Amino acid sequence: MQIATINGVKIHHAVTGPESGRAVLFINSLGTDFRVWDRVLPLLPEGTRVIRYDKRGHGLSECPAAPYFMGDLVAEAAGLLDHLGVGRVLVVGLSIGGQIAQGLAAERPDLVEAMVLSNTAAKIGTPDSWDTRIEEIHKGGIAALEEAILSRWFSRAFRESRPEELAGWRHMLCRTPEDGYVGCCYAIKDTDLVESTGRLTLPTLAIAGDEDGSTPPDLVRETAGLIPGARFHLVRGAGHLPCVEQPADVAAALTEFMKETALVREI
Ligand SMILES: O=C(O)CCC(=O)CC(=O)O
């Protein structure tokens, strides 16, 4: 198990693949830990250097008291890359992870060569919607919202046909510490990256799920539209977590993007 103290927080992370390989940083979503990428990783090009971590309040990382700020989440992603000394990476961020990726690209362009924004946006939800969610969790815990959250995370077909897997993801969600989950809700509530993301020029691939109830395709497409040349890929038969539901499709899109951006890197 690899733990490093970054920005004063103990961050659980894992690095696999050869040191000479293309480095890819994966950042997971609200209520998930880095196992959310498990089904995609074996399908990536051989020799990829994969860096995963649990953001604060999730997985095996330390859970400071809520609220959290996007600036801290970005500082921890940057601090981890500095700590590992891997240089510029391709960042793949899912939902809040995609917001951290956008923030990282804006704050530390020396660390990010390209990004994949999966099921995310420059701004997610409204302050009122996040206040309501935070209040409901304080009253009834994450369990009070689990059905609603799972119905946004996964397509109906997945929920009906894969009950054992659904149970596993339910456990991951409900075992997220309340401070970790609510802390990140505060960070998303206060985040509006429209201006800073609109100034980005790095190669970008945006991915959406056609049944995503959290960040629907049009919202993801809107954020992609802020970045000149960004490509958009729609995953069919997927909710908010296409990396779980349609890993082959996500891995193929990522592999294609890695090939394209490898050419950009060599110029
Ligand atoms: O998944 C995230 O990181 C934030 C977006 C969200 O609200 C997911 C959900 O619907 O619970």
| pLDDT tens profile 33-65 | 999 999 999 999 999 999 999 999 999 999 999
ipTM value for the complex: 0.95
Atom 8 of ligand 1: nearest residue by CA position: 214
Query: Is the shortest distance between the CB of 214 and ligand 1 below 6 Å?
Result: yes
Atom 7 of ligand 1: nearest residue by CA position: 214
Domain ranges of the chain: 2-260
> pTM of the predicted model, to two decimals?
0.98
SS3 84: helix
Query: Is the shortest distance between the CB of 155 and ligand 1 below 6 Å?
Result: no
- The type of residue at 48 is T
Q: For residue 146, what are the CA distances in angstroms to 47, 143, 150, 240, 256? A: 37, 5, 6, 14, 34
Query: Is the shortest distance between the CB of 70 and ligand 1 below 6 Å?
Result: no
Residues 6+ apart with CB under 8 A from 87: 23, 111
d(CA 99, CA 123) in angstroms, rounded, equals 8
User: How far apart are the CA of 214 and the centre of ligand 1, in A?
Assistant: 6
pLDDT per position as a tens digit, 143-163: 999 999 999 999 999 999 999
DSSP 8-state code for residue 34? G
The CATH superfamily label for domain 2-260 reads Alpha/Beta hydrolase fold, catalytic domain (3.40.50.1820)
pLDDT band at residue 195 using 50, 70 and 90 as cut-offs: very high
pLDDT band at residue 267 using 50, 70 and 90 as cut-offs: very low
